[in-house]
Structure 1
Amino acid sequence: MTSSARPTTPGEIREDVLVLAHNYVRREVQDYADVVGDSLELAQAAVESEKPYLVVAGVDFMAETAAILNPGKCVVHPEPLARCSMAARLSVAELERARARHPGVPVVAYVNSSAAVEAVSDICCTSANAVRVVESLDVPRVIFAPDRNLAAYVAAQTGVEVISVPAFGCCPTHQALSKSDLEDLICIHPKAEVMVHPETSPAVQALAHFVGSTSAMLRRVRETDATTVIVGTDISILYRMRRLAPDKVLVPASHLMACPDMRMVTLDLVRKAVQTREPVVRVDPAVANGAHRALERMLSVDRDGMRPTSPQRDLPSVGPLPAPLGTGARP
């Protein structure tokens, strides 16, 4: 996560506004923002800020998350039409049907979900803390929504049975990277380190040396001894990576990995939102209450390193979880 003083234009007042930008938005928006990070970092920064106005440069669920966690602050989303297509794939009704099929099994909702889905879940997670969140529950199986690829990654890392809902939920941007395309790129750059996001397919993850969230990838690109790195996530992250590791040759795994909704959030829209403090994000109070509980339980895992209090109080324990299986299959 990055945070520093940002440029302003004449007449622009920002003393009481915090601008939060995701790693996948346009580079000029990242430059303008006060904080740039992944979903978990943005959520944490929003909670920790004392500023009364939060402008969230990202897609809809990120703005909803900020609003739910900060009921006393005014949260503004510069482009309400910028939506997460993966979040839109799962309805509350489908998730409740999964609960009925698996009574007593806790529901873990990836934050790339609607507030309504989070409200009927037990705990939320991000790609940065999904493994820790699932391990914290200390149960033999979980229902995981809505990304089947992240679900598969969590299952491999924890040994927990992960029931993915919906069956074909995924991020189109990350699903665009195919195993064959990555294999071709590896042939071109045989000495490169391959790092990919856990929203990519299991077949793609198996080819990688490193699998992690955007924040983890940013740390890794600075630490690796490799001089060339193939990067399997939204290409916008290359902007920050090149600033953090100017000595590395960074190769996008696919130029198709560019979320169209993230690119809808332009600098002009963000500046307008800062000035007008609109459009304001509003979440139904009943939905917000349930989602707040699930999000707070997630944050407690990272904040306190504690096992959250589970609504399923009588769930059996399976004892110590196995050690992580590793983050890549290539030698």
Structure 2
Amino acid sequence: MAAPLLCVAATDAAPAARSRAQRLAVAVAQQVGVLVASLLAASLLIFLALHYLPGDAAAILAGPEATAAQVALLEQRLGLDRPVAVQYLDWVFGALRLDLGDSMLDGRSVASQIGEKLQVTVPLCVAALLISVLVALPLGMIAGARHRTWYGHLIGALTQLGVALPVFAVGLALVTVVAVKWRVLPVQGFPPDRWADPAGAIHSLILPTITLAIPLTAGLVRFVRSATIDIVADEWVRTARAQGWSIPSVLMRQGLRNAALPLVAIVGLELAGLLMGSVLIEQVFALPGIGQMLLKDVGNRDIVSVQGTLLALTSVIMIVTIALNIVYTLIDPRLRGSK
């Protein structure tokens, strides 16, 4: 009878596996659809908001002494005299080809400038995020599992301080102590040849990365701590402890996955704050990243460059958020309708 039973079990398992795969595929397709719709809505919002800003971009670029004919000629050269719908569609279809137009100031390709600046901003943000996750997960689990002990209270107090401190204040303090007083690391700047000098690039990013990671780590520790407290209070944890398992063993074997769930969700929510924080950090440490480029272009009223940069940043945030949502779905089967 063993062979028929095995055949029946295998026959029942195959449709179930296909059903789970289909539900997962539907969930992923839904996330991709949300991404496409969100990007279209964001592009329209960015374009209209910048297009209808007070002031005439062509007149500002032409200068205060330009005549009306010179301003009209500049508008025609920049394509600003065309209907708004035509300008928007031309920009969107160009963005689909990774062509975000040319800067109004120097005529350089906006996409190439963004790619150049991202060589600084992406390593900065990725390094800060990795450090934050690697520190927050174990520290938050310790703080949650031992939340009634003195070191549990100490971790909680430190995370409150880390969240409350302004990013630029932390950066200035690190520059003053580590770079100026101790002279261990560079004060500001980035190697002119960028990653052709890996050691110099890494040295230049150490202090900015630590500065950016401190508030992010503090926020993530608080969420992991809260999730761990809920896990420790579960019935299955009390049962495991009654069977002789220690709290660390329970968390490492069973609770790590549950503690990682809120962490994945919060990382997606914190991503926008991470990129916005990098704008301040790049100013404090004089890093030639995407944030410094955006502030310069806003000051110069370079609308083409500003809207291209905003679309690029928005796209990165949305794509990573959707990717994290898909990862969250893979980790938690309840989100794809598994029984």
- TM band (smaller chain): under 0.3
| Higher Rg | 2
If each structure's helix is expressed as a fraction of its own residues, which one has the higher value?
2
Normalising by structure 1, we get a TM-score of: 0.24
